[in-house]
Chains A and B, each alone.
Chain A
Amino acid sequence: MSREKLKQIFIEEATEIIEKLDIDILEFEEDPSNKSLLDEIFRGVHTLKGSANAFNFTRLGEFVHHFEDALDYFRSADEAPTTQQIDLFLDGINVIKNTLEYEIQENEEFPQGYVECLDGIHKILENITEAPLHEELATSSTDLAEEFSWDEDETKEYEIENFFEELQESEELFEITLKFDDDIYLRGFDHFLFFKNLSGIGRILCSYWHMNLVGDLHNFDVEKNNFKEVKIAFATKSTYDEILEIFDFVEEEEFHILHVKPKTSQKEIEEVQEIQEENINTTQKEAPVKEEVQTSNNQQKTQAAVTPTRSFLKIDSQKLDELFDSIGELVIAQNYLAQNQIIKQVRNAEVSKTIENLSKITRLIQNRVMSLRMIPIRDTFAKMKRVARDSSKKVGKEINLVLEGEDTEIDKTMVDALSDPLIHIIRNSIDHGIESDSQERLKAGKDEKGNVTLSAYHRGGNIIIEIKDDGRGINKEKVYKKALERGIISPEDELSDSQVYNLIMQPGFSTADVISDISGRGVGLDVVRTSIEGIRGKVDISSEAGKGSTFSIVLPLTLAIIDGMIVRSKDKTFIIPTLCIIESFRPQKASVHAAKGKEEFVQLREELLPVVRLNHKLELNNEKPNIWESTLVCIENEKGKFALLVDDLVGRQQVVIKSLGEYFSQTEGVSGGAVMGNGEVALILNIEELY
């Protein structure tokens, strides 16, 4: 594999790690006692560091290195990071993100905030090194004093057994051998880090630095580890597993932990040693097992560690699309077989059974392939927590973000396109929606904290994503006035409430009196609208003064199977998503009304429905058959109910939605196409645009 390719993989992985870090740190803030989560974060950062150095991303490596140190402190310390420190960590993640980008672009500068953030981290490190490190330094310095006075003879006297007498009550003796590779410093470790960590769980009685294995001065390289072997006599009340945890991040051949028992049971020592070696082997080779072995006494961590054992496979989504197309062909071929007259005439149980079987398998494959593209919206929502947190901090409003329907599955391509619009709307809700003064909220009988609810659910063949705040609502008059001022509307325009609200998504519209850093720079919600329209969705706004506003993003279920009603109009076949259909009927002559001789209505029980002639709407022809002799399909869309006039209903069928390609992406009234059983294409009607 080429280096370039490796780099690509690293970048992909790093991006994923960074995203996860963001979410994890926020979660950690909610539950600072969750050390396993912190470990998770630490591991992520650690992986980043290793790879960053491997690809010579020095700025990234440097930053992540210190970041890791700071995290490491909280891993072992009892104190939880303060909100300021969490803020710093979150900023740090941003810096990491930007630094990575700079590194990829080979931009030599330091990204914004790099230096400041690094300073902040240094400050944390300085503060913490003062207190606990002192002791350790004291112990290790005495050790060193001993070491410095060594000579050849003295070292020969080093016998681990000699340290038994130094053990205190309930302490056990371990001999730890460190055989670090040359590149240990580059990987971000040094011996003293482990000395320090070991001191955290026990006492270092003595360390023996094997000087015979140290190279001579001429070959000395500061960047390389020169101590090939260091033995540590270690007294602790901790278990073997706990010591092993300290060495989580070094290769198995680089250390060895030996539990030393009193000489009387030398045999036992060997046994123990064997078992332990086995342990090391299994733990290192089979990652999942290792997690369990190490954490058997730590339920929480086990849970966290078991989840990643589900293995994932990354697949180019293009390949999925190709697979998808092939399956479509398979379905058509299978339909052809199933409907073939000649085959039908073969009265053979085997043949019909096989064909039946084939259709079952085909459907199964189709469903499975379909589900591959669908992913829960959970991760996207989780990212919004960070957005809400950041923006609420910036404007100084307390916000409670509620997530609902995170398991709603949506197409992967939509997930990617959804993130930015969501960020925008959430920022907007926090910045403009929620009242700045909590007193104002209390007076209105609301919680002191602003509530923003982010929810996802299915409705009528669409996926709806709602961002709802309980703020002051949109000031209709203000919006209207502003739109007039900006010339977006003219005074003659008669606008419904929802039309007024939708004005705020017009380009160049911003009603915020104070332009804040978060939103309200004028390039606001129109971007949201365009990007949602880009994935063939739309945004609706509703609001109630004093109660709050709701942004609804209505998304189609692209690339999914829909249950369709096949209809014909002027010899052409069209598909209506069955979910939008309420009923179909042939009206009585008496129930048909024509207003002003032009607009037509039909009475269906209590309701008067406008009639939309499909052939006119799509400009197929100008024929005007009598309504009472045609078939009407009662359809409900976002705006209400209407009756669609078609020539004929053919039947219901499951169809695979396909895009017509960008040439027809703007075609009104048509949302896509589907390949029918005969291999021809039928158009799927866009119900929203028909009326």
Chain B
Amino acid sequence: MEKEEKEGLPLNKNRFLTFYLEDEIYGVNIFEVKEIIAMMTTTAVPKTPAFIKGVMNLRGNIIPVVDMRLKFDMPHKEPEMYTAIVIINIEGKNIGFIVDKVEEVVNVEEENISAPPEFGSNIDTKFISKMARFNDKVIMILDLVALFGQEELNMVQSLNKTTNSEVSQ
């Protein structure tokens, strides 16, 4: 089992889970994905940025949930049948990401992968690590560590801190 994984690793380097936000297709490296669950009720945490939907109960663990649409400045959309939460492991912690629809897992050939464009997208390219072409579609591969790693985390905390100090004054 372990051996298989080790041998299989290099082959799977370009395997992505793809999902939709609006009409655009995004991907995350399959190794970062822990699981996909149907949309469930979240609890809003006061005084956090809007894109932080809140927290939810994942089998006894409370994890943060991020609304990807709001993170990417897209209009809010009520959850429907396809709305899903992709649980991603970032720096050892699980975070849920709400997406419109989960598509599939794709294997992309190395030659079909390119660097992200410098402009032309309405999304901050900092979060897009590369572009992948697959079956005439272009997948934007997200770098979720950049999206919600240490830096963002600090941002959330400092945001809280400023509200704290404002209140105390």
Contact = CB atoms under 8 A, between A and B. Distances in A.
Interface stretch (A242-250, A398-406, A677-685): A677-685
Interface string A639-666: 0000000000000000000111111111
Contacts of A664: 45, 48, 55, 64, 156, 160
Question: Which 3 A-B residue pairs are closest in the complex by CB-CB distance?
Answer: A325-B60, A618-B46, A666-B160
Interface string A39-60: 0000000000000000000000
B63 A668 contact: no
B63 A661 contact: yes
22 contacts: A325-B60, A326-B60, A573-B43, A618-B46, A619-B47, A660-B45, A660-B64, A662-B93, A663-B64, A663-B157, A666-B160, A667-B46, A669-B46, A669-B47, A670-B46, A673-B62, A679-B57, A680-B41, A680-B43, A681-B54, A681-B56, A683-B45
B60 to A, nearest CB: 4
Interface in B5-63: 40-48, 52, 54-57, 59-63
B43 A673 contact: yes
B107 interface: no
A660 B48 contact: no
A151 B142 CA distance: 89
Given A666-B164, A681-B55, A619 B61 contact: no
Contacts of A146: none
Contact of A681 (B52, B57, B161): B57
B167 interface: yes
Interface in B67-94: 93
A561 interface: no
> Interface extent on B, as a size class?
20 to 34
Contacts of A328: 60
Contact of A661 (B47, B64, B167): B64
Contact of A660 (B55, B163, B164): B55
Contact of B62 (A620, A666, A668, A681): A681
Contacts of A332: 60
A328 B60 CA distance: 6
Nearest to B153: A663
A329 interface: yes
A667 B48 contact: yes
A325 B57 contact: no
Nearest to A330: B60
Contacts of B164: 666, 668
B57 A680 contact: yes
Interface in A305-352: 324-326, 328-329, 332
Contacts, number: 88
Contacts of B157: 662-663, 665-666
B62 A658 contact: yes
A673 B46 contact: no
Nearest to A672: B62
B45 A667 contact: yes
A572 interface: yes
Contacts of B52: 663
Contact of A619 (B46, B60, B63): B46
A675 interface: yes
A113 to B, nearest CB: 39
A568 to B, nearest CB: 13
Contacts of A683: 43, 45-46
Interface of A: 324-326, 328-329, 332, 572-573, 618-620, 658-670, 673, 675, 679-683
Given A329-B59, A661-B62, A681-B55, A668 B45 contact: no
A668 B160 contact: yes
A481 to B, nearest CB: 23
A660 B62 contact: yes
B79 to A, nearest CB: 15
Nearest to B157: A666
B66 to A, nearest CB: 10
Given A663-B52, A673-B43, 16 more contacts: A325-B59, A329-B60, A572-B43, A573-B43, A658-B60, A658-B61, A659-B62, A660-B62, A664-B64, A664-B160, A666-B157, A670-B45, A673-B62, A681-B42, A681-B54, A683-B45
Contacts of B56: 680-681
A670 B48 CA distance: 12
Contacts of A669: 46-47
A594 B43 CA distance: 33
Query: Chain A CB within 10 Å — which of B40, B44, B52, B61 has the most?
Result: B61
A309 B153 CA distance: 48
A332 B167 CA distance: 37
A661 B93 contact: yes
Query: Chain A CB within 10 Å — which of B40, B60, B156 has the most?
Result: B60
A390 B55 CA distance: 48
Contacts of A572: 43-44
Contacts of A662: 93, 153, 157
A620 B43 contact: no
A681 B61 CA distance: 10
A618 B161 CA distance: 14
A619 B62 CA distance: 22
B53 to A, nearest CB: 12
B105 to A, nearest CB: 28
A666 B93 contact: no
Contacts of B160: 664, 666-668
Contacts of B45: 660, 664, 667, 670, 683
Given A329-B60, A673-B62, A675-B57, A663 B44 contact: no
Nearest to B43: A681
A362 to B, nearest CB: 14
A682 B41 CA distance: 11
A366 to B, nearest CB: 12
A488 B123 CA distance: 43
Given A659-B62, A663-B64, A664-B64, A682 B46 contact: no
Contacts of B163: 668
Nearest to A680: B41
B93 A667 contact: no
Contacts of B46: 618-620, 667, 669-670, 683
A675 B60 contact: yes
A670 B64 CA distance: 14
Nearest to A659: B62
B159 to A, nearest CB: 9
Given A618-B47, A680-B43, A325 B61 contact: yes
Contacts of B54: 681
A670 to B, nearest CB: 7
Nearest to A678: B41
B43 A666 contact: no
Nearest to B163: A668
Contacts of A673: 43, 55, 62
Contacts of B42: 681
Nearest to A329: B60
A572 B48 CA distance: 16
Interface in B144-169: 153, 156-157, 160-161, 163-164, 167
